[in-house]
Amino acid sequence: MTPDFLSHIEGVLAGIEADGLYKRERLIAGTQSGRIRVRGPGGERQMVNLCANNYLGLADNAEIKAAARQALDDYGFGMASVRFICGTQMLHRELEHAVAAYLGKDDAILFAACFDANGALFEPLLGPEDAIISDSLNHASIIDGVRLSKAKRFRYAPGDMNDLEAQLRQADAEGARFRLIVTDGVFSMDGHIARLPEICDLAERFGAIVAVDDCHATGHLGDQGRGTPALTGAGDRVDIVTGTFGKTLGGAMGGFIAASQPIIDLLRQQARPYLFSNSLAPAVAAGSLKAIEIAREADDLRARLARHTARFRQGLTEAGFTLLPGETPIIPVMLGDAVLAQRMAGALDERGVYVAGFFYPVVPQGRARIRTQMSAALTDEDVTFAIDAFKDAGRTLGII
Ligand SMILES: *Cc1c(COP(=O)(O)O)cnc(C)c1O
């Protein structure tokens, strides 16, 4: 290797550090939960965790762990094959059927991650004569997946139905054969819910297909946790749903696409992340299957999550913090200034609350925030503890 190359890379890293964008990983000593043990220079500390996607608290669920352990014994550690060669066990088909039944679709197809599901979705289904119309706040994996397809690309301003209509018109004017609208169900930085009924109305008017990435909704939002189509009443007007097992549904890993039979059949034939990547580990498949079973029935956990969300929102609002309005368990505390957000995250850390600060370029300039996420793994006392820590830190820094 030429030494120039490594010094070039080191220069890039120094630039990231100088911009204050260098990400450092902290070490969690135990399980993912409402309280976690965080390892630091001074040893281990217990902290209240407000930044996992563990909405129903299933990441350390005893029944899910038992199902995974059983699968390890019955089905082995790994498949050492892609699905179509010798990597499909009964378990994989059971999980696909369970996802499809849960989300009210004909069938589903599994991937190693939802990142892969979104990378797989567009290229086989749409050609250069077609158009994809994408919300400009969509997840990175959608952006990458769209880039991998040859379809014409149109972007609309976040949640802006007038702009979506304008883009659909433009796609029409350019003679697109098929049009596909794609949106996150819940936008992870803001916690906003996509306006699915209006999107579906426009889709019907313009003869478009609707795809929703429901990673931040499946399992905890809507009736039985069926996600934003159920929550918003759009229901099966949404044609394609992509999702993850890496958040609410057990939090391990894996993704899926659920849709009508011909769509899933074609993806099984042609989706590259499916054809050229290993089958889900049996223990992960079995644990995720159990997670769906639990999530369907988990009205008690959803009620607890909603209670925490309402209390935390109310507590911080009354204390004088500025929150983005919303109804999901994603609660962004707006601080504006990146340095202030960083200092607030530090002050909360000292007070035993684990949060994530987000600044430009992850969010727009001047819109720095601390994104908090509620979880059914938190107790009422944990939520009180977190509200008190926000108040104390906020007063110390002169925010409230
Ligand atoms: C988390 C997330 C993904 C990626 O899911 P993985 O299964 O972790 O790859 C994709 N889309 C959205 C909207 C997400 O929030």
Q: Which residue has a Cα nearest atom 15 of ligand 1? A: 215
Q: How confident is the model at residue 142 (pLDDT cuts 50, 70, 90)?
A: very high
Report the mean per-residue pLDDT for the chain: 97
Residue 53 has pLDDT above 90, yes or no: yes
Q: Which amino acid residue places its CA nearest to atom 2 of ligand 1?
A: 215
Residues 149, 286, single domain; the answer is yes
Q: How far is the CA of 301 from the centre of ligand 1 (A)?
A: 22
Tens of pLDDT along 378-392? 999 999 999 999 999
Instruction: With beta carbons less than 8 A apart as the criterion, state whether 268 and 125 touch.
Output: no
pTM over 0.85: yes
Which token pair is 83? Answer: 């699905």
Distance 223 CA to ligand 1 centre (A): 21
**Rounded distance between C-alpha atoms, residue 196 and residue 241, angstroms:** 12
Nearest to 295 by CA among 236, 256, 245: 245
- Contact assessment for residue 205 and residue 212, using Cβ atoms and an 8 Å cutoff: no
286, part of any domain:
yes
Average pLDDT over residues 23-29: 92
Give the domain extent around 313: 24-56+299-396
Is residue 8, in this structure, part of any structural domain at all? no
Domain boundary among 245, 272, 296: 296
Q: Mind listing the pLDDT tens digit for each residue in 92-101?
A: 999 999 999 9
Annotated binding site: 114-115, 139, 188, 244-247, 277-278, 371
pLDDT at 218 over 90: yes
Q: What CATH code is carried by the domain that includes residue 319?
A: 3.90.1150.10
- Catalytic residue status for 134: no
**Do 75 and 135 belong to one domain?**
yes
Which atom of ligand 1 lies at the shortest distance from residue 115's CA? 9
Q: Give the Cα separation of 338 and 354 in Å (integer).
A: 18
Pair (198, 336) in one structural domain? no
The pLDDT, as a whole number, for residue 360 is 85
- Tell me how crowded residue 83 is: count the other CB atoms within 10 A of its CB: 21
**Is residue 8 over pLDDT 90?**
yes
pLDDT at 81 over 90: yes
Ligand 1 atom 1: residue of nearest CA = 215
Output the known binding site for substrate: 139, 371
Angle at 103 between CA 31 and CA 191, to 5 degrees: 60
Q: What is the CATH number of the domain that holds 83?
A: 3.40.640.10
Question: Which pLDDT belongs to residue 22?
Answer: 87
User: Could you tell me what percentage of the chain is helix, strand and coil, using 3-state DSSP and rounding each to the nearest 5?
Assistant: 45, 20, 35
| Across 252-262, average pLDDT | 98
Q: Confirm whether 136 is a catalytic residue.
A: no
pLDDT exceeds cutoff 90 at 362: no
Active site residue 188: yes
Helices (H), ranges, the chain: 3-18, 62-75, 83-86, 90-103, 114-125, 140-148, 161-173, 196-206, 228-232, 261-270, 272-275, 282-297, 299-319, 338-350, 380-396
